[in-house]
Amino acid sequence: MIVTFTPNPSLDRTIELEGELARGDVQRAVGARQEPGGKGVNICRALDSSGVSCLALLPGDDADPVLLALTAQAIPHIGLHIGATLRSNVAITEPDGTTTKVNEPGPALTVEQQRDLVELVLAKAEGASWLVLAGSLPPGVPADFYAGITRELRERLGANAPKVAIDSSGAPLAASVVAHPDLLKPNAEELAELAGWSDGPSLEADPMLAAKAARRLVDGGVGAVLATLGSKGAVLVTAAGSWLARGPKIVARSTVGAGDCALAGFLLSNVAGASAPDSLGQAVAHGAAAAELPGSTVPTLSQTRPEAVTVTALVSDPKEDDQ
């Protein structure tokens, strides 16, 4: 069982254009899709579609459109009543896969609601193999929310605590590092920010530099770093080594949720007992398959092509060349 927690879920609407986005103009869409979303929700949807047991935890009333959509899709979930409507996000995709997103902030959560959510997570995480803490935080929630959950989980469950994966950005991601999660899943921009290289070379274009940045986090106590590098693939760094995976050439239709599906691919492979390099390969295969689908549609395992992914060990030690 993999449990995901999404404190700021959303109803994700994706609008497909037949040409480039033109600011200030009127354009007609050629397609539109609507899915329940938020990183943890997307990860659970991807796991469920591939036959992996999962449970999505999130705030939201039973009649909220997000929870109604999860129910309609038979995605295992538990929502905590908050008496407020969850946010809606809009993504506009162009024919070449370029995606423009507008995300609402989401409803504010009171201190009592935050505590209730923590208790829900702690109760449902017991017995799970992984707990995934994912996405942005809603207004009123402190940046160290994920770090606090990670520490409390381990204090309460001890050796029975599941492994913790965190996929967020900005201050919540930075604050989570000190809690030493078992896995961090930044993209290139987020990894550069964590490493203090936001004005430096593009990590997406330089996998070795990405591996060096990730190695710093692992040396600092993070269990592993899975850094997605867009069309360049992904890098995985653990205490045992570093690997780069490059996927097949694809025609991207929508990148919405591709990173979430990459993490889902890694986790489903990990719980099946695969090696770190093979889990990385499945992550890239899942992310590529998601990018080929419309909107935030998630692929099934059979739609992925891990055999088309090339995984290589990074033989140069990324511990070298401090920057």
CA distance 5 to 162: 13
Residue 45 lies in a domain: yes
Does residue 263 have a pLDDT over 60? yes
Q: Name the pLDDT band for 236 (thresholds 50, 70, 90).
A: very high
Using the predicted structure, report yes or no on whether residue 290 has a pLDDT greater than 50. Answer: yes
- Banded pLDDT at 315 (limits 50, 70, 90): confident
CA–CA dist 200, 296 (Å, integer) = 31
Domain assignment present for 37: yes
Look at residues 49, 48, 112 and name the one whose alpha carbon lies nearest to residue 80: 112
pLDDT at position 323 over 60: no
User: 122 pLDDT exceeds 80?
Assistant: yes
**pLDDT tops 60 at residue 126:** yes
What pLDDT is attached to residue 136? 96
170: in domain: yes
The residue-averaged pLDDT of 109-137 equals 97
CATH of the domain at 29: 3.40.1190.20
In a domain, 281, yes or no: yes
Report how far Cα 205 is from the mean position of its chain's Cα atoms: 21
CA distance 13 to 11: 7
The answer to whether position 237 is within a domain reads yes
Which of 20, 24, 27 lies closest to 93, judged by CA? 20
Task: Tell whether 318 is covered by a domain.
Answer: no
Who's near 147: CB < 8 A, 6+ residues apart?
Answer: 175, 176, 178, 179
Of 189, 142, 202, 166, residue with least CA distance to 43: 166
pLDDT in tens, 71-89: 999 999 999 999 999 999 9
Mean pLDDT of all residues in 178-194 = 95
Give the side-chain half-sphere CA count within 13 A for 129.
Answer: 12
> Does 323 fall in a domain?
no
Q: What integer is the mean pLDDT of 77-105?
A: 92
Q: What is the pTM of this model?
A: 0.92
Mean pLDDT across the chain:
93
* CB neighbour list of residue 130: distance below 8 Å, 6 or more residues apart: 2, 3, 162, 163, 164, 165, 182, 267, 270, 271
Domain that holds residue 253: 2-313
pLDDT score of 316? 60
Single-letter residue type at 136: S
In a domain, 319, yes or no: no
CA–CA separation, 314 vs 242, rounded Å?
5
pLDDT in the model for residue 201: 60
Domains contained in the chain, number: 1
